[in-house]
Copies of this chain bind each other. A is one copy, B any other.
């Protein structure tokens, strides 16, 4: 499967994947909690979500140094190299998902200063899709499953359609009652944050597709390596 079959290397690579999955789980939970606090008008939960970003940031540093160690000490080639570089990219994406969950919590805090504009139905739906995209994107990384990665890309359109729907509906509220302008703007921001979480899941899925199926790239590398010898 790869040039590096020594057990240590594969063990460390498994650890790297395991940490990424843990980080993904934490980021996903932060997104869920932030949207739940918004929908249930639970202001008390918001501080918890803001505090919950710190462990994600610590995990980011840990994963980066794991990945750097693997690159520096093991000098992997081809698919292993792409797997580790993908981990570094995915790590950045997950850290930003964590930031976006905090941004959602902050917008929720401002939204809760106002009476509710409307029952929130589409935003939790967007959150569900974004969370599932994130989870499946990480699964596709761990299982090297390009079909699953493709399925993640396909879901981005659903998220986009809901975002447009949220926007149009809130525009109507704002037209009818200027008192809803400020809180509606916060909901629009939340929908954009959720859209960006979907974008990060999309980035991860694209990295997986490159990682698994970039045969051309790898072959170009091999040819190049031969030429230089």
Which residues of chain A have a CB within 8 Å of any CB of chain B? 65, 68-69, 71-73, 75, 77-78, 81-82, 85, 88-89, 92, 167, 171, 174-175, 178, 181-182, 185, 188-189, 192, 203, 217, 220-221, 224-225, 228
Q: Complex Cα distance A220/B62, Å? A: 13
Question: Which applies to chain A's interface (DSSP): helix, strand, loop or mixed?
Answer: helix
B178/A171 in contact, CB under 8 A: no
How many copies of this chain does the complex contain? 2
Q: Complex Cα distance A182/B181, Å? A: 11
Q: Complex Cα distance A89/B75, Å? A: 19
Residues of B within 8 A of A73 (CB): 221, 224-225, 228
Residues of B within 8 A of A81 (CB): 68, 71-72
Q: Complex Cα distance A41/B181, Å? A: 26
Residues of B within 8 A of A182 (CB): 171
A-B contact pairs, 20 of them (CB 8 A): A65-B217, A68-B85, A68-B221, A69-B221, A69-B224, A71-B81, A72-B77, A72-B78, A72-B81, A73-B221, A73-B224, A75-B75, A85-B85, A85-B88, A88-B89, A89-B89, A171-B182, A171-B185, A174-B174, A185-B185
